[in-house]
Structure 1
Amino acid sequence: MPDFDLVVIGAGAAGLSVTALSAALGLKVALVERAEMGGDCLNWGCVPSKALLAAAHAAARVRQAGRFGVRVAEPEIDWLAVRAHVRGAIARIAPTDSEARFRGMGVEVIRASAHFTAPDEVEAGARRITFRRCVIAAGSSAVVPAIPGLDSVPWLTNETIFGLEDKPAHLLILGGGPIGLEMAQAHARLGCEVTVIEAGRIAGRDDPELADGLRRVLRREGVTLLEGTKLAAVERDPAGLEAVLGDGTRIAGSHLLLAVGRTPRLAGLDLAAANVAATPRGIATDAGLRSVSNRRVWAVGDIADPEGIGPRAFTHVASQHAGVLARRMLFRLPAKVDYAALPRVTYTDPELAQVGMTEEEAREAGHDPLPYRFPLPESDRAVAEGLEDGLVKLVVSRKGRLLGAGVLGPHAGEMAGIFGLMIGRKLPLSALAGLVLPYPTLAEAAKRAAGDHYAPKLLSTFSKRLVGLLWRLP
């Protein structure tokens, strides 16, 4: 008999979800984690970044209060207090992910690195343990690009930036994706000089129209955006470092943050010993997250590459994976990963949310999409709150199905759920156009955009004649 019914490698969001459910259902579970319980999301990702952004947004609200006739002085940034707020947010959530909580569930928590020694065996610390099933949830880490001179200067990733004791004087950020843009705005609002170096365009995976709006906001707030720019090398400088750009331009900075993507943590797992197939993109699985080469092994979260479509490094994807795994592995029910309605959000202010396809992606997929837009500043709630930026954009099929939606606006991520439900359940656009929303809310902009799809038919010559005939009836 194996030592455990289930061995889970990694105590991040995906691993903890699988572990908790499996233990609750009576399985004998071992959870192996070499670093911090809670993984990237709790310790170096979602929680600390949003806590830092909350402090930055509070400073911005103070500066913007004059628009409403409220006169206040320039906010004073207490960097140590900001750091304490970030640490406090982590500390408040940590008990939910703690070793003590999972031991209380009956889980054996092993604090060590793990690697495979056979298709049904792992070594964790000094122990070799056999399993009936194993779930790999080792997550991902920041990509460290090969830049000449990088080994001679100090640099940061999301795992180290939240531990800075002193406020950066000039933060150079390599990468204009979600992490780079969030950290750019956060530090700019907290009084740092910030420069973003991006080889393509910022928010490259999002709709260009929405990215344009965010670009204007960031530049207005003093963030320097160098798009279409390559970092050729870095050199030491008395102030910290100097970035040498592709055209020879030099920029001195105090700190360098690397935010050019994520890579799955495959090293050290000895996957070959377990006959687990993988590529640099992650562990190869079927649509149900089972290894294509070892039926005892499954993969979830950032490290999983279902059907070669590539990992999705989001905590909510980890939760989605855990749900698929529960149905497929635990209950033997048909289940598979489906990213058609997957939301992604950049938590700047305004937030940038995207669900489903962009207009460009819809065209590439063979659709002939109809785009509908509604500027957020034209909604009554935005007028009342003095909002100057924002846009809702819907991408609709010719048959009236929502293919994708993007929002640039306050709390856009909250609005994304409506679009995800519509796309996931294949609801007609009429469901959104006919939705009764409380007034005034920003979500009305989405309803107004959906209504534009039906306006030409509603106000057509035929409709006018029909109403004229019906009006004559008693």
Structure 2
Amino acid sequence: MSQTASPAASKEPLTPDICVIGDTPGGLAVATAAALFGVRTVLVRQSGSAPSFSQGARGQALRAVAQHARAIADAQAFGIAAGTSEIDYGRVRTHLDQVSAKLAANDSDERLVALGVLVLKGEAHFQNRRQIAVGESVVKARRFVVATGSLPALPDIPGLAELPVVTEDSIFELVKRPERLIVLGGTAAAVELAQAMRALGSEVALIARDGLLLDEDPEAVGVLRRALLGDGIALHEGRPILRAESHRQRPRLVLEGEIRIDGTHLLVANGRKPNIAGLELDLAGVRSDEAGIVVDASLRTANRNIYAVGDCAGGAAAGTTSSQAAQHQAGLVLRNALFRQPTRFRREWVPRTVHGRPELACVGLSEAQAPALGEIRVLRFPYAESGRAQAERQTEGLIKLMTDRKGGILGVVIAGAQASELIVPWGLAIQKRVNVKEMAGLIVPSQSLSELSQKAALSFQAPLAAKPGIRRLIGFLSRFG
């Protein structure tokens, strides 16, 4: 099977070893890796879906533009007269499209066909436990992997359905920069887009009615909260929204106390919902709930021949929405489906990131979760004590480590510049059960932010210096020269 087919192109049932439903990052990872192993593979691209990496690529590109705009605005603090930056949003859009187009080649039909994948285009739905239909095509596969991703979820607010809104997916299609942007939501996407659009000159109000980044460490969230306010973003937290309405043909949100928030555009980034409607999972014996398709730790559903990965997966995989998590899950599925190896998805091993300014990243257990394993120690080290951070005027932030009494690393939280990069060795340390004392002995590059991680690890041993027994031992050994 090495061609692209429309739903009506195949009259006889297709019988691949693996059929992947959805061209999300997890779905593409399964399809490409399976094909490389010589496994007969069918990939179903859902009709009308955007290229799988498109929105993520545009988001990265928009944040890069915002970073350059901030660099110009901050240059005066370094003695550089850079003047004021003028934003040509048409060229910004061109940049977003160019980045997306360059990365889209990795997902193209041509590349998949070259690997030996048969690509079907259309809406898939199960007909029974071992068979799906895509238009007039029928696929009977030994294994199915559902990777249909997620869609933006609209909150239940009176009047919201009658207003024109943009979502965290569609905002990149705007041809003009919003003059006054209302961002509804307290999610990572809400924070990232609010800060990016503010850096590009929009007036921004962020409405987090349920709170800001509820699943993240409160101390780290405090760092981001101060940054949002410092950026000039109007932040409204924990205040109920009474209604949404149109005022002079523009969106308005009315908060408790009749506080009116007016804007030219309303961005809803309040969370996402699994994209599983229409799959008729019940005919396949697959259970689902609000979080998605219920899977166990091996990412299998109630039907042992069907797996789910990525945003559409619930159960043991619920809440892991990054493309990296989906690709990791894809690897676990292939190990289980092709090589019959026992696998277990560990949600706590997946780094979570908020690409704000500063960034927030965490891996492992939180400070609230860790005590369930016994007595813990919490170590903190501030960015302000880093020479690199001082030189770059990025001193807001901290590294927080949660360890057990013996130095076993249970969880790490980083709020500050380059947090998404600094978290990487800590993720490996947790997976490989590296002790914090070993991390303290790591030799890091001089004058780098990595010194923060080393110094945070070193602080585990600080109490030893004050123990009388240690001091007596040092005094005794000093007698021998």
**TM class by smaller structure:** over 0.9
Query: By how many angstroms is 1:200 displaced?
Result: 3.1
Q: 1:182 aligns with which of 192, 206, 213?
A: 192
Three-state SS of the structure 1 residue aligned to 2:349 is coil
**Are 2:469 and 1:462 equivalent residues in the alignment?**
yes
Counterpart AA for 1:139: G
Q: Kindly report the root-mean-square deviation, in angstroms, between the aligned alpha carbons of the 2 structures.
A: 1.6
**Are 2:15 and 1:3 equivalent residues in the alignment?**
yes
Question: Residue 43 of structure 1 aligns with which residue?
Answer: 54
Query: By how many angstroms is 1:426 displaced?
Result: 1.1
Query: By how many angstroms is 1:234 displaced?
Result: 0.7
Preserved contact between residue 37 and residue 99 of structure 1 (Cα < 8 Å): no
Question: Residue 27 of structure 2 aligns with which residue?
Answer: 15
Distance 1:239 1:72, change over 3 A: farther
Q: 1:164 aligns with which of 174, 184, 189?
A: 174
Three-state SS of the structure 2 residue aligned to 1:115 is strand
Q: Percent identity over the alignment?
A: 36
Distance 1:30 1:82, change over 3 A: same
Preserved contact between residue 292 and residue 312 of structure 2 (Cα < 8 Å): yes
Query: By how many angstroms is 1:39 displaced?
Result: 4.5
Distance 1:366 1:310, change over 3 A: same
**Are 2:274 and 1:264 equivalent residues in the alignment?**
yes
Counterpart AA for 1:407: I
Q: Distance in 1 between matches of 2:255 and 2:355?
A: 28
Q: Distance in 2 between matches of 1:203 and 1:440?
A: 32
Q: Distance in 2 between matches of 1:179 and 1:163?
A: 16
Q: Report the TM-score when normalising by structure 1.
A: 0.96
The 5 Å alignment of 1:370-381 reads 370-381=377-388
Question: Residue 343 of structure 1 aligns with which residue?
Answer: 351
Query: By how many angstroms is 1:143 displaced?
Result: 1.0
Question: Residue 283 of structure 2 aligns with which residue?
Answer: 273
Distance 1:401 1:258, change over 3 A: same
Preserved contact between residue 51 and residue 107 of structure 2 (Cα < 8 Å): no
**Are 2:119 and 1:116 equivalent residues in the alignment?**
no
Q: How many equivalent pairs are there?
A: 469
Question: Residue 41 of structure 2 aligns with which residue?
Answer: 29
Question: Residue 9 of structure 2 aligns with which residue?
Answer: none
Query: By how many angstroms is 1:37 displaced?
Result: 7.1
Query: By how many angstroms is 1:276 displaced?
Result: 1.4
Question: Residue 434 of structure 1 aligns with which residue?
Answer: 441
Preserved contact between residue 55 and residue 82 of structure 1 (Cα < 8 Å): yes
Preserved contact between residue 37 and residue 97 of structure 1 (Cα < 8 Å): no
Q: 1:287 aligns with which of 260, 284, 297?
A: 297
Q: 1:254 aligns with which of 250, 264, 268?
A: 264
Q: 1:360-419: per-residue Cα shift (whole Å, max 9, x none)?
A: 2223x3533211111102111112222231211111212211111111111110011111
The 5 Å alignment of 1:80-99 reads 80-99=90-109
Q: 1:304 aligns with which of 297, 313, 325?
A: 313
Extract unaligned runs of 5+ from structure 2.
1-12
Q: Report the TM-score when normalising by structure 2.
A: 0.94
Distance 1:428 1:457, change over 3 A: same
Preserved contact between residue 293 and residue 313 of structure 2 (Cα < 8 Å): yes
Counterpart AA for 1:350: P
Query: By how many angstroms is 1:25 displaced?
Result: 1.2
Counterpart AA for 2:108: S
After alignment, is 328-337 or 395-404 more displaced?
Answer: 395-404
Q: Distance in 1 between matches of 2:334 and 2:142?
A: 16
Query: By how many angstroms is 1:459 displaced?
Result: 4.0
Preserved contact between residue 10 and residue 39 of structure 1 (Cα < 8 Å): no
The 5 Å alignment of 1:67-466 reads 67-238=77-248, 240-292=250-302, 294-307=303-316, 310-363=318-371, 365-466=372-473
Query: By how many angstroms is 1:156 displaced?
Result: 1.2
Q: 1:203-250: per-residue Cα shift (whole Å, max 9, x none)?
A: 221111111111111111111110112222111122511111122211
Preserved contact between residue 291 and residue 315 of structure 2 (Cα < 8 Å): no
Query: By how many angstroms is 1:141 displaced?
Result: 1.0
Q: Distance in 2 between matches of 1:238 and 1:37?
A: 34
Three-state SS of the structure 1 residue aligned to 2:101 is helix
Preserved contact between residue 154 and residue 256 of structure 1 (Cα < 8 Å): yes
Q: 1:427-455: per-residue Cα shift (whole Å, max 9, x none)?
A: 11111111111111112112111111101
Preserved contact between residue 66 and residue 197 of structure 2 (Cα < 8 Å): yes
Q: 1:41-67: per-residue Cα shift (whole Å, max 9, x none)?
A: x122x2111110110110001111111
Query: By how many angstroms is 1:36 displaced?
Result: 6.3
Q: Distance in 1 between matches of 2:269 and 2:14?
A: 42
Q: 1:75-128: per-residue Cα shift (whole Å, max 9, x none)?
A: 111101111111111011000011111011111111111011111111112212
Counterpart AA for 1:15: G
Distance 1:240 1:253, change over 3 A: same
Q: Distance in 1 between matches of 2:226 and 2:162?
A: 35
Question: Residue 8 of structure 2 aligns with which residue?
Answer: none
Distance 1:81 1:447, change over 3 A: same
Distance 1:321 1:7, change over 3 A: same
Extract unaligned runs of 5+ from structure 1.
none
Preserved contact between residue 11 and residue 38 of structure 1 (Cα < 8 Å): no
Q: 1:146-180: per-residue Cα shift (whole Å, max 9, x none)?
A: 21111221011122110001111111111121000
Distance 1:218 1:464, change over 3 A: same
Q: Distance in 1 between matches of 2:150 and 2:191?
A: 20
Q: Distance in 2 between matches of 1:369 and 1:227?
A: 31
Distance 1:199 1:368, change over 3 A: farther
Q: Distance in 2 between matches of 1:43 and 1:287?
A: 29
